[in-house]
Amino acid sequence: MKLFFQLRIDWIEDRILFLSKATEDVERFCAYFFNLLWALWKSRNEFCFEGNKEDPINILARAEIVLGFFKVCCFEFLGVSPGSAGVFYVGFEL
């Protein structure tokens, strides 16, 4: 079981390193990447446990909406931009 999770962590690290070299805004990319993973996981759980099938475009839209809320919350309530030292994400449901 430990090997299973290590392979997943390695895959995520590899994707971040590979794709972050293609963009100058690594922090923005990482924020979108992890929001997309969360949206995919949420959609998967809704399918497995509730039988709901979701359009892939809606999954992408959900990731963008959550990222937008995060940016607004960081700036409005904390006065900082996402990616600043000490800023982290706490999940919530839409």
pLDDT at 57: 92
- Which token pair is 12? 């995520």
So what's the pLDDT on residue 3?
Answer: 67
Task: Render pLDDT for 8-60 as a digit per residue (tens, 0 to 9).
Answer: 778 778 877 777 777 677 777 777 888 888 889 999 999 999 999 989 899 98
Q: Tell me the per-residue pLDDT of 62-91, one tens digit each, with 9 for 90 and over.
A: 888 888 877 777 666 666 555 555 555 555
Burial class (CB in 10 A: 0-12, 13-18, 19+), 7: exposed
CA atoms within 13 A on the CB side of 70: 21
User: Which residue do the tokens 């293609």 mark?
Assistant: 22
Q: Count the neighbouring beta carbons within 10 Å of the beta carbon of residue 5.
A: 9
